Amino acid sequence: MNEKVIRFVSIAYLLAWAIWLIPILRMNGRYELNEEFSPFLLAGSFSPTIAALICRYIDKKWTGVQTLLNQVIRFKFPFKVYVVCLFVLPILAALSYLMLQIKAINLDENILLYVTMIIAPLNGLLGILSGVGPLGEELGWRGYLQPIISKKKNDFQAAIIIGLIWAFWHLPIFLFPEWRNGLDLPTFIILYPISTIFLAFMMTKVWRWSRMSVFLCMWFHGLINALLGIMSNRRAFNFEEYSDLSIYLLILSFLLVGCFTFEIIDRKIMKTTTNTVYRK
């Protein structure tokens, strides 16, 4: 594997795991995502950004760091990219639940929940400000790692590599039952990387379409967090006939449909294919 990739991944993993494992080891097997752990979760989530800045400085000194940071304020790209990246998945989610007849527990809130799905881009933008996830991670995954991987790999190959790195960076957090959505640990270890590969595939498209805008990748990441949180919420939807595993497989199926949809849009609207690699 590329030396730069190994260096970046090593720093990102070591920083996050060191921050997370200190309080985790003090829990004595009673793992709970509580207020005491929240500051550690937040601090560890910035390890990909810190790793990216360190690695870019090693590669290209302060000029490279400035170039990397400029991707966070890159807003200029075709308007259709904003539309596709921010509204295709929320609309797909609402249509999917309508077709599957998954309804709100309180039927009076049924329409409200579907509308909430469609306005997920707004929640996603607000989610960036929370710090955990989009703000701390994307400068690393998409700002630094993605260009290196995409120089030699197509979108599908890049998604597998980045998706696996992204998934197992979270490994210490797998210990928390709340994080696993009710799944047992062995099942989650198998299924979670599949979800991050699907997400990494769509994120790769977002990154390319937006001309490497870390800002839009952050927004899309926040949108995903908001949307999947709504879709898997047992307190909102009537999932009486669904086990925790069934809900997770439902989400995976939705993400797979999203990947196919993004690929079709890539070929038909954006006029590119997965065989297009980033060159610079």
Residue 126 has pLDDT above 60, yes or no: yes
For the chain, the three-class secondary structure string (H helix, E strand, C coil) is CCHHHHHHHHHHHHHHHHHHHHHHHHCCCCCCCCCCCHHHHHHHHCHHHHHHHHHHHHHHHHHHHHHHHHHHHCCCCCHHHHHHHHHHHHHHHHHHHHHCCCCECCHHHHHHHHHHHHCHHHHHHHHHCCCCCHHHHHHHHHHHHHHHHHCCCCHHHHHHHHHHHHHHHCHHHHHCCCCCCCCCHHHHHHHHHHHHHHHHHHHHHHHHHCCCCHHHHHHHHHHHHHHHHHHCCCCCECCCCCCHHHHHHHHHHHHHHHHHHHHHHHHHCCCCCCCCCCCC
Q: What is the pLDDT of residues 153-172, one digit of tens each?
A: 999 999 999 999 999 999 99
Q: What is the pLDDT of residues 198-228, one digit of tens each?
A: 999 999 999 999 999 999 999 999 999 989 9
Residues 56-87 have pLDDT tens digits of 999 999 999 999 999 999 898 899 999 999 99
At residue 105, the pLDDT reads: 87
What per-residue confidence (pLDDT) applies to 280? 44
Question: Any bridge partners for residue 237, and if so which?
Answer: 104
Q: What is the pLDDT of residue 205?
A: 97
pLDDT surpasses 60 at 279: no
Read off the pTM: 0.93
Residue 229 has pLDDT above 50, yes or no: yes
**In the chain, where the domains are located:** 3-268
User: Rounded mean pLDDT of 108-133?
Assistant: 79
